[in-house]
Structure 1
Amino acid sequence: MGYTFVSATILLLLITDPLGNIPIFANALRGVAPERRTRVILREVLIAFVLLLAFMFVGDGFLRVMNLSDLSLQIAGAVVLFLIALRMIFPPDKGEDTVPLTEPLIVPLAIPALAGPSALATVMLLVSQAPERRMEWVAALTVTMVVCGIVLVLAEKIRRLLGDRLVMAFERLMGLILVAIAVEMLLRGIRTFAGQLH
């Protein structure tokens, strides 16, 4: 199954998970003055975008240097996606009392909240499967980051409008969809590997 612009955008949105990141951003920005929060969020989204974009353009070279095949990346990406999806469905208990004393920079918001291992593996996988459509994947990533920026800037309004329970329900639904995507990727990788053995 090849990805289209729409399916790649949806996959990237599921992985970057802007709705699920609302509590993480809210917690990390507690120590930041309200008038600076929008600027900090947009800066972190931009950093994540630049990092993911860099992986899109140097990822295939990185694979060659590390002597890794597209198939190994696909299977590894499926495993990472599966683990991330499980955390979305069964989130670990997070201590809400850990308020950062300084303004967050890069960690933990840009990395790993937005540009985590699964997002990095996914952009590399998209490019390795169809390098001739690289600009299409760049466009999908751009749309994804714009949506993330809008959702996170409006995070407080979204939480008030939907309530924490509905946000959590969306998070778990996205996790369930991501589990299915991860299993499909894993099965495709296994079928390809089995085909190479014959």
Structure 2
Amino acid sequence: MGTFNFQEFLSAFIVLFAVIDIIGSIPIILDLKQKGRSVNAVKATGIAFALLLGFFYVGDGMLRLFQVDIASFAVAGAFVIFLMSLEMILDVEIFKNTGPIKEATLVPLVFPLLAGAGAFTTLLSLRAEYASLNIVLALIVNMVWVYIVLRLTDRIERLLGKGGIYVIRKFFGIILLAISARLFTANLTSLIEQFQAMK
């Protein structure tokens, strides 16, 4: 698990905050409610947390099963985070939800908004950089924040306004872009060193 490091915790929190992007999802949640599709805050937060935590611990074993190391996954994850940042910055839709499940709490709220491919990838990418304890604590605090936002969606939208939500989404899009660049360069260097050592 490692020891607690506030800087690692804060960095992991900011990365997960940007990837999960619950503030940016408020318009989607409001649209679901207007269409009569109920959203259960406790259920959504609980299931999302269980999925993310489970993948955080089991995902490494799954990678070993396919003979993929964390550094390689982190490089691949950097590309996913890069694409997510483009979505946020350029207002384009790259990841589309075309699944058959129509229940709002599970789809699209839990998957892919809260516990999607980007969040899964980010967790394992962070594991290549930080101690597990700091990442898990950052995930827990993020899930508490997600629950608060889900409970107070209407109030937050009135407080921030559509313009405020839009600006926040753009800001964290730029943060994600920078994070993807750092993840890519840091882990690509590691992969190159491993390749050279094999010669």
Q: Into which bin does the TM-score normalised by the smaller protein fall?
A: 0.7 to 0.9
Partners of 2:35 and 2:85 in 1: how far apart? 29
User: Does the Cα contact within 8 Å between 2:70 and 2:128 map onto a contact in 1?
Assistant: yes
| 2:48 paired residue number | 48
| 8 A contact 1:74–1:186 mirrored in 2 | yes
In structure 2, the residue matched to 1:92 is 92
Q: Match for residue 185 of structure 2?
A: 187
**Aligned partners of 1:29 and 1:103 also within 8 Å:** no
Cα offset, 1:121, TM superposition: 1.1
Alignment of 1:11-160 (within 5 A): 11-32=15-36, 37=39, 40-92=40-92, 103-129=103-129, 133-160=131-158
Percent identical pairs in the alignment equals 36
Q: Alignment partner of 2:91: what SS? A: coil
CA positional deviation for 1:137? 2.1
Residue deviations 1:114-152, cap 9 Å, x none?
A: 11111101222333555xx43332221110111111123
Unaligned runs of 5+ in 1: 94-101
For 2:55 and 2:128, the matched residues in 1 are separated by 11
TM-score by length of 2: 0.83
Classify 1:175/1:80 alpha carbon distance in 2 versus 1 (closer, same or farther; 3 Å): same
Gaps of 5+ in 2: 94-101
Partner secondary structure for residue 175 of structure 1: helix
Letter in 2 for 1:148: V
Partner amino acid for 2:149? V
Aligned-partner Cα distance in 1 for 2:121–2:158? 34
Q: C-alpha separation between the residues in 2 aligned to 1:115 and 1:139?
A: 16
Task: Give the 3-state SS of the residue equivalent to 1:107 in structure 2.
Answer: helix
Question: Matched residues in 2 for 1:12 and 1:134: separation?
Answer: 14
- Residue 76 of structure 1 deviates from its aligned partner by 0.6
Aligned to 1:92, what secondary structure does the other structure show? coil
In the TM superposition, structure 1's runs of 4+ consecutive aligned residues that sit over 4 Å from their partners are none
TM-score, normalisation: structure 1: 0.84
One-letter code aligned to 1:125: S
Q: How does 1:159-178 map onto structure 2 within 5 Å?
A: 159-178=157-176
Q: Could you tell me which residue of structure 2 aligns to residue 7 of structure 1?
A: 11
Change (3 A) 1:181 1:126: closer
In the TM superposition, what is the alpha-carbon distance from 1:55 to its structure 2 partner? 0.6
SS at the partner of 1:20? coil
Secondary structure of the 2:34 match is coil
Secondary structure, counterpart of 1:18 in structure 2:
coil
Aligned equivalents of 2:170, 2:148: Cα separation in 1? 21
How far apart are the structure 1 equivalents of 2:162 and 2:15? 24
- The amino acid that maps onto 1:19 is I
> Over the residues paired in the alignment, what is the CA RMSD in angstroms?
2.1
